[in-house]
Amino acid sequence: MSSGYMQNPFASSHSLDTNPFDDPPQRSAGAAEQARLEELRRREQDLERREAELNAKSDHLRRNGRNNFPPFFPLIFHSIKDEIPEASQPLITRLFQLWLVLFATLIVNMVACIFILTAGAAGGGSDLGSSIGYLIVITILSFLLWYRPIYNGYMKEQALYYYFYFFFGGFHLLFSLYMVIGIPGYELHLPESEAEDDN
């Protein structure tokens, strides 16, 4: 009686007619093993390809870094700890702090010119315009023309960057001395303002 329960009632007695509810035919053990090994090889190659891509990305990030400066709109990678040799890191840190002091000084100058303008002093508008121009131009040019060259010089150990630093850093130093001294009579006058002064 148990043999009746073991038979599939839906099994077909005809060789051309197959039952859709039947289990798929079993392949030979060798073919199944071969298919499984082929699938494992394909997955292994895919994993090796992904690993190579990730290694290439990590090498690129390690060499070039991810843009992180300025913080509000990253344009370049700047990391003294990662890019500058350990012996030169204190010097480059000081130069970066010097550049930040310059930036802060230009901001204080602009705020002072805003107070001069609100106090109603003569020439307050031109002073404010000059301070805004100095803030934008000097900040960008000082970073690109003297700070970044000395940073690159210590990072890449190339003499050309040192020459750029000494040339543009020296020019900036002379310009700063000129601005500190404030030689009277050497202000920039536009032709219209000269005509107004004559009247």
Task: Say which range, 45-54, 136-145, 157-166, 189-198, has the weakest mean pLDDT.
Answer: 189-198
**pLDDT for residue 153 is more than 80:** yes
> Half-sphere exposure of residue 196, counting CA atoms within 13 Å on the CB side?
6
pLDDT over 90 for what percent of the chain? 42
| Cα→Cα distances 99→25, 96, 102, 121, 134, Å | 77, 5, 5, 31, 14
Whole-number CA gyration radius for the chain: 37
Name the nearest CA neighbour of 18 among 6, 29, 27, 8: 8
Closest CA to 152 of 97, 101, 104, 80: 80
Residue 76: beta bridge partners? 69
Round the average pLDDT of the chain to a whole number and report it.
82
pTM tops 0.75:
no
Overall size of the chain counted in residues? 199
**Position with higher pLDDT, 189 vs 157:** 157
d(CA 63, CA 155): 12
Q: For 113, what's the count of Cα atoms within 13 Å in the CB-facing half-sphere?
A: 19
* Percentage with pLDDT > 70 across the chain: 76
Quick: pLDDT tens for 180-189: 887 776 665 5
pLDDT over threshold 90, residue 101: yes
pLDDT the model gives residue 5: 64
